[in-house]
Amino acid sequence: MTDHADAIAAAQAVLDAFMTAFNARDLPAWEETFNFPSVRLASNTMTIIEAGDHKSGMFDQGALSDWDHSAWERRTVIHAGQDKVHLDTRFSRYRADGSVIGGFDSLYVITRENGHWGVKARSSYAP
């Protein structure tokens, strides 16, 4: 995979920006980390996400109601090509007091489309 070092670095940078924007609850910056349409498979449900689908209220309800921030625990490249990188990841969700809500294994597919690197698909065991 060393011949795709630039793609791997770009994909890792997308994941850095994804988590930073998510934790800041900065929806415009977070959406910039996607390539739309994007697919999310979680809780046994597949969702096709389009630009503008994320709303600020999402941070206050459901699985995120007690959430303060998240952090990557693992980001291992599985496959890499010139325009796509697959990553085996694990992230944890935390409350404001630092206690762990849960840790979730996931797969992320980061693609380059029209020169833009972004999350094209993700599948996790997170609710």
Q: Would you state the pLDDT for residue 54?
A: 85
**Residue 98 is which amino acid?**
G
Q: Would you state the pLDDT for residue 127?
A: 82
Phi, psi of 48 (to 5 degrees): -95, 120
Residue 110: count other Cβ atoms within 10 Å of its Cβ. Answer: 29
Give the CATH number for residue 70: 3.10.450.50
- Model's pTM, two decimal places? 0.92
Q: Would you state the pLDDT for residue 41?
A: 97
- In the three-class reduction of DSSP (H, G, I as helix; E, B as strand; rest coil), residue 26 is classed as coil
Q: Which residues form the domain of 25?
A: 2-124
Please give the span between the terminal C-alpha atoms of the chain, in angstroms, as a whole number: 32
The token pair at 58 is 């999402």
The per-residue DSSP string of 30-94 comes to HHTTEEEEEEEEETTEEEEE-TT---GGGGGSGGGTT--EEEEEEEEEEEE-SSEEEEEEEEEEE
Per-residue pLDDT of the chain (127 residues; tens, 9 = 90+): 568 999 999 999 999 999 999 999 999 999 999 999 999 999 999 999 999 888 877 777 666 778 999 999 999 999 999 999 999 999 999 999 999 999 999 999 999 999 999 999 999 998 8
Q: Would you state the pLDDT for residue 2?
A: 64
Q: Would you state the pLDDT for residue 33?
A: 98
Q: How many domains does the chain have?
A: 1
